[in-house]
Amino acid sequence: MVVVVLPSILATEADGRNRFDLDAGTVGEALRALPVADRVLDERGELRPLVNVYLDGVDVRESDGLTTVLAGDETVRLVGAIAGG
Amino acid sequence: MGVVALLGTRKGLFLAESEPTRREWTLSGPFLTGWSVFHAVLDPRDGTIHAATNHEVYGATVHRSGDRGETWERSEGLGLPEESGLTLEKTWHVEPGRPEEPGRLWLGGAPGVLFRSDDHGASWEVVESVLTHETRGRWNPGAGGMCCHSIQLDPGERDRMFIGISAAGVFASEDGGETWTPANSGTAADFLPDPFPELGQCVHKLLLHPARPERLWQQNHCGVYRSDDRGRSWERLEGNGLPSGFGFPLALDHRDPDAAFVVPEVGAENRVTPDGRLGVYRTQDGGSSWQLLTVGLPQRAWAAVMREGFASDGLDPAGVYLGTQSGSLFVSPDAGESWLEPVSQLPPILSVEAAEWS
């Protein structure tokens, strides 16, 4: 099982849950299984530009993005980019 | 029965409640923390609050609450079709449908898009006739993006409605949104080579008077206008009391089709209220003359009021509500004669709506 950890604003959108244990083969599969998938991915299924996804601490954009393969024991952490006011 | 003012801010939604006297107010919130609430409205048909919500990181959506803000649900399936080549940028305005259309709502957004819901806002379907309008290539975004911010329904003619898009102009539909015709004759676009084009005008706010639905008012980038023929032609109204034709918000008095309220700004290059004060200007003669209203409003202020930051209620006399970017709510319980500042120090106020609730 991969663990997906949400930031607080998305946890609020997910009935207060900030941690999801999921079976997923890729980062994209894991994100699409979330109840807040539409806030993480746009209507094309692309990662929203200011959403950062860290796989065991490594930005998935530095690997294969949404197609990054999961072994099944990782932690996927979603973090909003430092932006806004 | 009481009154609620829904205050959409850059950092959540606040609710201000009062008895019908509208002199003592109680504030609750914030709700929808973390979200910029571009517009929130109480659906008079079922009491649901609908909010057009946006987040720099997590995108544009719509939230709704059936329990006065205690719990919220997010709309599903809100987006633009792949073949459009566009993605949804912002949600701007939610307009409940007519009383005889339960479950129907309209949603305006950017880039120049309109959605319809027939399931109380649970899901939305893009209005293809706006998305693929033959003139879309001549539309341009204003400073706030290419936003569909105004949606007005004729209360007596089920198929007649109007939208305002900045900077595409006003469009009218006589067939329930199946087709749209530009309705900008007589409104200026001083920033274009042809100052009176068919379309491309930067309408800032469009309102229809519910008691005289052939009458429309608009605050435009280039003037204040009134139409008495369903948008076929427009008469420019500023001068004779208005210090500037530039501004964003607009409010009407439901009892009096000849009355309107605007909050002018100095101009496009200096977007603050003129003369170093917060001035509301009211006409009671269809725009022939304008009266500066000052009682209770700050006489030393360089304020700004967003396009959705002005509203009126359905009581008698009409209440008028004004929210500033500096986080103050001003309320006039007497159709503009005097003003209170019952709420201050909020985040920047993006939108104000007023409604009765029990």
pLDDT at B278: 96
pLDDT tens across B93-140, in order?
999 999 999 999 999 999 999 999 999 999 999 999 999 999 999 999
pLDDT tens across B167-222, in order?
999 999 999 999 999 999 999 999 999 999 999 999 999 999 999 999 999 999 99
pLDDT tens across B186-196, in order?
999 999 999 99
**DSSP characters over B237-264:** --STT-S-S-EEEEEEETTEEEEEEEEE
Q: Please give the Cα distance from B170 to B40 (Å, whole number).
A: 22
Is some CB atom of chain A closer than 8 A to the CB atom of B57? yes
φ/ψ (deg, to 5) at A8: -60, -40
Query: Does position B238 have pLDDT exceeding 90, yes or no?
Result: no
Please state the pTM of the whole predicted model.
Answer: 0.97
ipTM over 0.90: yes
Q: Averaged over B305-330, what is the pLDDT?
A: 97
pLDDT at B240: 87
Structure-model confidence comparison of residues B238 and B268, the more confident one: B268
Q: Please give the Cα distance from B168 to B188 (Å, whole number).
A: 12
Chain A contact probe: residue of B58, B88, B126 with most A CBs at under 10 A? B58
Q: Please give the Cα distance from B170 to B329 (Å, whole number).
A: 29
φ/ψ (deg, to 5) at B267: 170, 180
Of A8, A10, A43, which is closest to B87 when you measure between CB atoms? Answer: A43
> What contacts B71, CB < 8 A, 6 or more positions away?
B65
Chain A residues within 8 angstroms (CB to CB) of chain B: 8-10, 12-13, 36, 38-40, 42-44, 48, 50-51, 80-81, 83-84
pLDDT tens across B32-55, in order?
999 999 999 999 999 999 999 999
Of B34, B76, B79, which is closest to A9 when you measure between CB atoms? Answer: B34
pLDDT at A84: 58
Q: Count Cα atoms within 13 angstroms, Cβ side, for B121.
A: 30
pLDDT tens across B254-282, in order?
999 999 999 999 999 999 999 999 999 99
> What contacts B19, CB < 8 A, 6 or more positions away?
B2, B3
Q: Name the amino acid, one letter, at B276.
A: G
Structure token pair of residue B4: 């609620």
By C-alpha distance, which of B324, B315, B313 is closest to B351?
A: B324
Confidence of residue B358 (pLDDT cuts 50, 70, 90): confident
pLDDT at B239: 76
